[in-house]
Structure 1
Amino acid sequence: MAGTYDTEQQTIIDRIKCIAFREARDACATFINRKWITNKIHCTIRLVIEWWENSYDQCFTHYSNTGSKLKLSKASHDIIRKASGRQGKSCSVVVKEIAEKQKETAVRRTINNYRHREGLKPLRVIPKSLKSETHISDRLWLSGWLKNWTEEDFLHLAPSDEFYVCTAHRSYYQNDRICARSIEDIEEHERYREMVKNQICIGLFIMFTCKTLLCVIKDKGDS
């Protein structure tokens, strides 16, 4: 695979191959291009671009401090492992830590790819649900306020006389909308109860709040 080497010997070999393939292209092999060379010798397109126009003598120059290695050292891998599952150790933070401790250059994507490949994940802090007495009281009040509402009541949340009601979700009418002034103007099979002009801000808020309220009541043993 591309980007799996980190030895100077292999880099020198790939530099020579880039130049050789470029010379073959100039001679008669017109099918050869940068992408073809990248796939052929399993290196990065960056290496091909940088070296295929150079001379063979330049291939033996020292490269260790001229850029980032394409494979992190074992010590850097250990840093990634130790940082996983800990708060405040995102990929960006780990990149800086590797640069400071190992003097290696990496990018966030490299860290993320390694974590994904090894099944490692940075710590994700899940906030506690709001279950204080005040929150429970507020949700109970809202539930009591909404429990006797009808379809007409929900549609009255619309900010004007005209509002939009989404049709039933069908593959060939995904973006269809019905403009109605009364619930009777909409056929029963096409009604979407809490859908109003700002359905995300109003309708879904009420649905989500009521659902959360039921969870709180169950957790308190009241239902």
Structure 2
Amino acid sequence: MSAVHFDFTTLPARDRYKLLVSVVVPRPIALVTTVDAQGRANAAPFSFFNVVSDDPPLLVLGIGGREPRRDGHKDTVRNIGETGEFVVNLVDEPLMEQMNICAIDFPPDVDELAAAGLTPIASARVRPPGLEKSPVRLECRKYMSIPVGPEWRTLLIGEVLAMSVRDGIVSPDTLHVDPDAFSPVGRLHGGGWYLRLTDRMRMDRVTGLDGDASSRA
């Protein structure tokens, strides 16, 4: 089978970005809320995001830098550095337009929640609020941050302390998720492309070569 080969050691960073975000899809979206030391709230979306461990329960955010004004860090990184806490609000279709507004590079004195028409809701374990409209809110504290590459890029690892889920999504008895009640959107490649979870398929996990299978759903 023929293939086109790309040497990432020689490609410009922008071309590497275009290729990676176009093939590693779909990516879940974290709409992250934080507060600074004065308690001012911030909300910012990230699609370089996923769960990386269950014990301890950890997730990771890949946060790009900004033009080197102030200290060069995005408000999310700076706020978490000041408070050590943040909330990951998962994004479903009704939240998409407001999430997109939060992607605007607002000045630090602008309230993104107000600009996007989002209502904050108090968290149980951390200082930053969650977003009332989000179907799932993950309250996190900073576990580790790793500076990577140029332009103030950061891998931020957070420990999940608590989760709030909209009624009807998760069974409190079995902890199973109703796929018809929870429909997060995924990020595709550039140009504003996203994905709905409207076409699903199921495949049970094969546990042996004899074909026996069991479900971990």
TM-score interval (norm. to shorter)? under 0.3
TM-score (norm. length: structure 1): 0.15
TM-score (norm. length: structure 2): 0.15
**Structure with the larger helix share:** 1
**Higher Cα Rg: structure 1 or 2?**
1
**Structure with the larger strand share:** 2
